[in-house]
């Protein structure tokens, strides 16, 4: 009897940096999240920067042909889960994140997502996260109940991140993976 040896499959979990702002601090957090998730076995991650998807200043709906939107739709289609990094702008999330998000739709359905809020103040972007929830719900995404808040991002340095933050991000990314690989 021959037993086939199955190679373990990798799952794709993109990390989306949800702001294109010139001096964005969230980039540090997004890169840190990308490094964290990429270090997990069985996971491949793609770093998705909204800046690379903003050639149209207007909404490209999910049914419209568009080269950048197609690129995002392909990543979203192949993804088994997502990490969205969103800074808080006027108590909500950035418009450019919504432009990217709205360019796909069915690709998100029933997929888990971890949300990472970012702010320069004390609340860590939790109000941006709260605003984002109904948007993700509309696309039938499964938002993990625990989210990550990153306050005081001005002082955030991936070289010296608080051990509690590292532990928390590790735990939540592992929970995300468990939601995918059951
Ligand atoms: C247009 C704009 C609005 C902002 N509104 C808020 C806000 O409502 N609450 C908050 O805590 N920080 C707010 N901030 C500060 C951000 O938290 C800060 O810029 C932080 O570094 C994260 O955003 P960044 O990735 O663009 O740097 C705002 C920043 C911008 C550019």
Q: Whose CA is nearest to atom 28 of ligand 1?
A: 89
**Residue 9's pLDDT band (cuts 50, 70, 90):** confident
Candidate from 25, 28, 84, 88 with most ligand 1 atoms within 8 A of CB, to mutate: 88
Ligand 1 centroid to residue 96 C-alpha, Å: 14
Q: What is the DSSP string of the chain?
A: -PPP-PPPPPEE--EEE----TT-SHHHHHHHHHHHHHTSTTEE--EEEGGGG-S-SS---TTS--HHHHHHHHHHHHBS-EEEEEE-BTTB--HHHHHHHHT--GGGTT-EEEEEEE-SSSSTTHHHHHHHHHHHHHTT-EE-S--EEE--GGG--GGG--HHHHHHHHHHHHHHHHHH--
pLDDT digits (tens, 9 = 90+) for 104-127: 999 999 999 999 999 999 999 999
CA–centroid distance, 120 to ligand 1, in Å, is 6
For residues 72-101, average pLDDT: 98
**Is the CB–ligand 1 distance for residue 91 below 6 Å?**
yes
Residue 141 has pLDDT above 50, yes or no: yes
93 vs 105: CA distance, rounded Å: 18
Mean pLDDT across the stretch 154-173?
Answer: 92
pLDDT at 102: 98
- Answer yes or no: are the C-beta atoms of 81 and 176 closer than 8 Å: yes
> Which residue owns the Cα nearest ligand 1 atom 30?
89
Please determine, for residue 35, whether its predicted confidence score (pLDDT) is greater than 70: yes
Verify whether ligand 1 is closer than 6 Å to residue 113 (CB atom): no
Q: 53 CB contacts (<8 Å, ≥6 apart)?
A: 68, 69, 71, 72, 99, 100, 103
pLDDT of residue 179: 92
Degrees (nearest 5) of the Cα angle 18, 112, 27? 20
Q: How far is the CA of 61 from the centre of ligand 1 (A)?
A: 27
Residue 8 pLDDT: 61
Q: What is the pLDDT of residues 56-79, one digit of tens each?
A: 999 999 999 999 999 999 999 999
């Amino acid at each position: 009897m021959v037993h086939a040896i199955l190679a373990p499959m990798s799952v794709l979990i993109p990390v989306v940096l949800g702001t294109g702002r010139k001096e964005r601090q969230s980039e540090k957090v997004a890169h840190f999240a990308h490094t964290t998730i990429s270090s997990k076995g069985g996971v491949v991650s793609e770093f998705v920067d909204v800046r690379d998807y903003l050639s149209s200043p207007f909404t490209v709906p999910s049914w419209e042909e568009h080269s950048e939107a197609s690129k995002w739709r392909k990543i979203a289609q192949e993804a088994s889960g997502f990490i969205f990094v969103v800074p808080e702008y006027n108590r909500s999330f950035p418009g450019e994140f919504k432009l990217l998000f709205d360019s796909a739709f069915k690709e998100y359905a029933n997929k888990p997502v971890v949300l990472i809020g970012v702010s320069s103040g004390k609340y860590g972007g939790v109000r941006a996260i709260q605003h984002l929830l109904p948007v993700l719900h509309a696309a039938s995404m499964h938002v993990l109940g625990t989210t990550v808040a990153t306050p005081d991002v001005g002082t955030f340095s991936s070289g010296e991140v608080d051990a509690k933050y590292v532990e928390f991000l590790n735990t939540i990314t592992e929970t995300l993976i468990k939601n995918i690989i059951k």
